Amino acid sequence: MPEPMIEVTAVGKRFGDTVALSDVDLTTARGSVLALLGPNGAGKTTLVRILTTLLKPDSGHARVAGCDVVRDAARLRTQIGLAGQYAAVDELLTGRENLELVGLWYHLPKEEYRRRAQEVLVRFGLENAGDRLVKTYSGGMRRRLDIGASLIGRPPVLFLDEPTTGLDPRTRNDLWLFVEELVADGTTVLLTTQYMEEAERLADRIVVLDTGKVIAEGTADELKRQLGGDTLEARVADASDLDRAAAVLAELAGAQPRIDRDQQLVSVPTSGGTSLLVAVGRRFEDENVALADLGFRRPSLDDVFLALTGAKTGGPE
Amino acid sequence: MRLALRDTAGIAKRNLLRIARTPLMVIVTAVQPALLLVLFRYVLGGAITIPGGRYVDYLVPAVFVEAVLIGGMTTSIGLAQDLKSGLIDRFRSLPMARSAVLAGRTIADLSRSVFALAVMVGLGLLVGFRFHSTSWRIVAGMALIIAFGYAFSWMYAAIGLATKDPETAQIAGILPFFVLMFASNAVVPVETMPGWLQGFAKNQPLSVTVSAVRALLEGGPAWHWLWQALAWSAAILVFFFTLAVRLYRSSAA
């Protein structure tokens, strides 16, 4: 494994009686993307705040780009960019002024931060809005400017806290492309997200946090495999057939099916392959169960997430 | 050190741009002391007698001091806004000097106080106030007022960082203003107050500064009040600077 750019060892953090993080370990290699996945209140933002020196850990150690988050905090800050959960841009400044000032605070010479501000404006499709006050920007433009500001210092490590929350699909896609470009150039990215699609698309590794603990870790495929194989799903046309359909699946797949009455859906975990699918189809025909849909479904990251966090917290709030 | 100054200048520039783009805020900052001036000059002033002098010459130097104190309140609101919007998080994650955010802001906000002070000088002259002093004493008086305002802007910075919410910061900022302004010699002579209050009212920072400013602008021995006023401003600056920097370092929105 290449040298780790982010190393977290047994980090804990409490706020009063609330345990925000307990005994968290993780590492990220240079030039890779780590996604922190977890429900609200899982501790994702707390971990980002510790890694960006905004909070001190109560226990454990963390290093970013070789700098300890407590002892080398000042040097660490020269190595990172942060785009927080809220677009931290100044409404009463223009987009360009926002970027240039951040460049100044990265201690770049004037010509350099001017050049980079222009670059960022162009890169994020803001060149025509660069000299307008940010208060006239749409939510998506603000977010792009915010992420642009975190890149002015060309930091080797970038932290994106829910970067695409509230963005339209097109802007979200642009951002993903951009993150992929950065990573191709060697930037290490840690992002938090609530969107499985985002984690799956961008992340080399996913860490699932819940109530301050790491409850799973791996690539998207590894996490899905943990959940088991495929699911055979049959959607019946008539709700009165649900129980009959469930009996069929129980018999042929040899496992207890799950019945979703609202969706008129019967599903059962299986590793039976297409022969099972054919057998089930025939049997339904013999028994005159009218089907709306029949097929295999691979587990989505959503399933993984719900299974993992549901088991721990006893279901969604 | 050079970088720290550059960082501070950057923050000051940012806040000056904000001030220039919210002219209404600048005007409102000047309207508040103007209202106090008019209220006391014309509504209540008739009922107040000052032994051996005109009430307008007694009142207006105090309004000058109040103007910069009111100007300082914008610092607490602005910092609380920056905390809430996540800007302070960004600032703290950048490699800039730790003192820059607060120093740059207090320096920039001072411009609003100086503007309010200038407006009060004009308005004071309009309602009948006259300087009875030499020009260097007037300059010294104005410098003392600005120093007092700057020292107190650090108290407001600490209030903004402690409350973390613009509305709360605004309400919390009014409390010290009311105590300092009314339990003082600013608008009425202390001698009319009950004995237990007189001790505080005579020696608290605003009263001492107002006394020094009156002496500097209106004549009379000033040294006695001047050194006390400077000591108060220095003490307030050091105390609240330390507190505000500590709050800033641990601030979590």
Packed helices B223-250 and B100-126: angle between N→C axes, nearest 10 degrees? 140
Q: Is A1 on the interface with B (CB under 8 A)?
A: no
The CB density around residue A192, as the number of other CB atoms within 10 Å, is: 26
Bridge partners (DSSP) listed for residue A11:
A24
Residue B84 has pLDDT above 50, yes or no: yes
Of A78, A88, A149, Cβ closest to residue B89: A88
φ/ψ (deg, to 5) at A33: -115, 125
Quick one: how many helices (H) and strands (E) in chain B? Answer: 10, 0
Interface test with A, best of B94, B248, B249 (most A CBs within 10 A): B94
In this prediction, residue B166 carries a pLDDT of: 92
Name chain B contacts of A55, Cβ cutoff 8 Å. Answer: 252
Q: Does A73 touch chain B (CB under 8 A)?
A: no
With cut-offs at 50, 70 and 90, classify the pLDDT of residue A89: very high
Specify the pLDDT at position A1.
Answer: 53
Cβ-based interface (< 8 Å): residues of B facing A? 3, 6-7, 10, 13-14, 17-18, 21-22, 85-87, 89-96, 100, 252
The span from the CA of A204 to the CA of A29, in Å, is: 10
pLDDT at A41 over 90: no
Identify any residues that bridge with A28 across adjacent strands, giving them in sequence order: A6
Report residue A3 as tokens.
Answer: 């040298």
Predicted pLDDT at B118: 96
- Subunit contact A105:B93, Cβ cutoff 8 A: no
Whether A48 contacts A161, CB under 8 Å:
yes
The per-residue b/e assignment along B28-42, b for 16 or more CB within 10 angstroms, e otherwise, is ebbebbbebbeebbe
* Average predicted confidence (pLDDT) for chain B: 93
**A4-225 has CATH 1.20.1260.10 classification:** no
Q: Do A93 and B14 touch (CB under 8 A)?
A: yes
A89 interaction partners in chain B (CB closer than 8 Å): 87
Strand ranges (E), chain A = 4-15, 18-29, 33-37, 59-64, 67-68, 80-83, 157-161, 188-193, 205-210, 213-218, 230-236, 258-260, 265-270, 291-297
R_g over Cα of chain A: 24
CA distance A303 to B74: 50
- Count CB neighbours of A312 within 10 A: 15
d(CA B128, CA B177): 26
The pLDDT of A148-173, averaged and rounded, is 90
- What is the Cβ-side half-sphere exposure of residue B160, based on CA atoms within 13 angstroms? 29
Give chain B's domain count: 1
The per-residue b/e assignment along B203-225, b for 16 or more CB within 10 angstroms, e otherwise, is: ebbbbbbbbbbbbbbbeeebeeb
Rounded CA separation B193/B183 (Å): 9
Measured CA to CA, the distance from residue A208 to residue A189 in angstroms comes to: 16
- Whole-model pTM: value is 0.83
Mean pLDDT over A57-86 rounds to: 93
Residue A105 CB partners (closer than 8 Å, separation 6+): B7, B10, B91, B94, B95, B96, B100
Residue-level pLDDT at A277 = 86
Beta bridge pairs of residue A188: A157
Phi/psi at B163 (5° precision):
-85, -30
d(CA A27, CA A209): 14
Q: Please say if the pLDDT value at position A315 is more than 60.
A: no
Q: What is the ipTM of this complex?
A: 0.88
The pLDDT assigned to A227 comes to 66
For residue A309, pLDDT beyond 80:
no
Q: Cβ B94–A93 below 8 Å, yes or no?
A: no
Instruction: Out of B18, B90, B92, name the one closest to residue A92 (CB).
Output: B18
Q: Please give the residue that has the higher pLDDT: either A224 or A37.
A: A37
Mean pLDDT for the stretch of residues B207-213: 97
In this prediction, residue A316 carries a pLDDT of 40
The structural domains of chain A, with segments of one domain joined by +, span: 4-225, 229-298
Please give the order of strands across the beta sheet that includes A33-37.
A80-83, A157-161, A188-193, A33-37, A205-210, A213-218
Question: Looking at the domain that runs over A229-298, which CATH code has it been given?
Answer: 3.30.70.100
Average pLDDT for residues A125-135, to the nearest whole number? 95
pLDDT-derived band at A311 (thresholds 50, 70, 90) equals low
Q: What is the pLDDT of residues B180-202, one digit of tens each?
A: 999 999 999 998 899 999 999 99
Instruction: Find residue A63's DSSP bridge partners.
Output: A7, A68
Left (φ > 0), alpha (ψ -120 to 50) or beta: where does A53 sit? left
Q: How far apart, in whole angstroms, are the C-alpha atoms of residue B232 and residue B209?
A: 8
Output the pLDDT for position A317: 36
Q: What pLDDT sits at residue A228?
A: 65
Q: Which of A221-230, B31-40, B126-135, B208-217 has the lowest mean pLDDT?
A: A221-230
- What pLDDT score was predicted for residue A2? 60
| Residues of A in Cβ contact (< 8 Å) with B17 | 92-93, 97
Cβ atoms of A4 and A28 closer than 8 Å: yes
pLDDT above 70 covers what percent of chain A? 96
Q: Which domain holds residue B50?
A: 2-250
Helix and strand counts by DSSP (H, E) for chain A: 11, 14
**Each residue's pLDDT tens digit, A138-156:** 988 998 899 999 999 999 9
DSSP state, A133?
A: B
Percent residues over pLDDT 70 in chain B: 99
